[in-house]
Amino acid sequence: MIRTGSRNTNGRRSRKYTVFFFCLIISAIGWFLTALAGSYTEVVYFRLRYENLPEQLAVSGSYSDSLKATVKTSGYTLTGLKYGTQSNELALDFSRFTHKGKKLFYITSQEVSDLIAKQFPSISVVKLFPDSLFLNFEQRITKKVPVKADLKISYDADYGQADSIRIKPVFVTITGPKDEVEQTAFIATEPIARTDLDKTLSEKVPLTLAPGLVFSDSTVSVEIPVEAFSEKVIELDVTAVNLPQKSAAEINPKKVTLKFSAPEAMLEKLKPEDFRAVIDASKRTKRKSDMRIIIAKKPAFVKLLGISPAKTEVKIK
């Protein structure tokens, strides 16, 4: 009997706690809803969307893509604007605005306030930053530019790039203000960073899209062929370049040993004729007769590992 009474007491106490917390939650919700229904003055940001821009013209230089405003509105609206539950995009229709000449448009603070009031009826504008918007326009042109891969690549010790980098598309079309388009020589990809690469890399990469320009593509496919490399040693004759007229060079030793690595598929095809070892006679001084040997010619994707000897004695007659 004693145990039964204890269980009943605990049950009544638990129900009281449940009712208490339920009432507390309801009160908190009621307070929150009452607070949201109140009126507040706060700073908010509107994202600008430009519509009906003049044909054959493009916005030049820097321009605002957002607008700061002090507004008076309900807590419900403020919460939606600040936390993304309500769109903060403000459409600016250029067919309605004043322009000075053909290439300068300005929008007064009153026009912007009227637009906000129309698109956001529950908002009252107190102040705008900036209080007016000015936009300059230039002739809009289009041209094709090449794509360049921005590579930050290192390879595993036994691997390397085995062929040309393949980019698709090779060219992209850009459209925008004449000055900006004409100054754009190429479009770079976002950086492609890898370390100890030991296999072919193939992926889609975003382009670095400049503001104010329209691109035919926002991404490209980049492929970097990677293969295992092997080493090989060959012997080369050393020749002189940039000799004075009617002069000859006596080189000793005249032969050097070159150690290099290359993709295994092309290694056996490489011959001494594919390389050229030289000394630059124009850099010889009276004090020194020994000169550094330079590899002036080598096939693409070959890694030079060493030359022996690295220098040779040179006499110019």
Q: In this predicted structure, what is the pLDDT of residue 109?
A: 79
On whether both 154 and 201 belong to a single domain, the answer is yes
**For 207-312, where are the alpha helices, taking DSSP H only?**
264-267
Domain boundary among 201, 224, 247: 224
On whether both 179 and 113 belong to a single domain, the answer is no
Kindly give the confidence (pLDDT) of every residue in the chain, 317 residues in length, as a single tens digit, with 9 standing for 90 and above: 445 555 555 555 566 556 656 666 665 554 544 544 557 787 888 888 877 777 777 776 666 777 888 888 776 677 766 666 567 788 877 776 656 555 667 777 788 888 888 888 878 788 887 777 777 777 889 999 999 999 999 999 899 999 999 999 999 999 988 888 999 999 999 999 999 999 999 999 999 988 778 899 999 999 999 999 999 999 999 999 998 888 888 899 999 999 999 999 899 899 999 999 999 988 877 656 789 999 999 999 999 999 999 999 988 87
On whether both 100 and 60 belong to a single domain, the answer is yes
Q: What is the CATH number of the domain that holds 266?
A: 2.170.120.30
On whether both 106 and 156 belong to a single domain, the answer is no
On whether both 67 and 87 belong to a single domain, the answer is yes
Instruction: Please name which of 239, 254, 252 lies closest in space to residue 313, comparing C-alpha atoms.
Output: 252
On whether both 24 and 72 belong to a single domain, the answer is no
On whether both 157 and 209 belong to a single domain, the answer is yes
Q: In this predicted structure, what is the pLDDT of residue 125?
A: 81
On whether both 233 and 301 belong to a single domain, the answer is yes
Dihedral of alpha carbons 76, 82, 86, 89, sign:
positive
On whether both 86 and 159 belong to a single domain, the answer is no
User: Whole domain around residue 280: which residue ranges?
Assistant: 229-316
Contact criterion met (CB below 8 Å) for 276 and 256: no
On whether both 236 and 303 belong to a single domain, the answer is yes
Q: What is the CATH number of the domain that holds 182?
A: 2.170.120.40
Contact criterion met (CB below 8 Å) for 49 and 90: yes
On whether both 115 and 180 belong to a single domain, the answer is no
On whether both 178 and 214 belong to a single domain, the answer is yes
State the total domains in the chain: 4
Global pTM reads 0.61
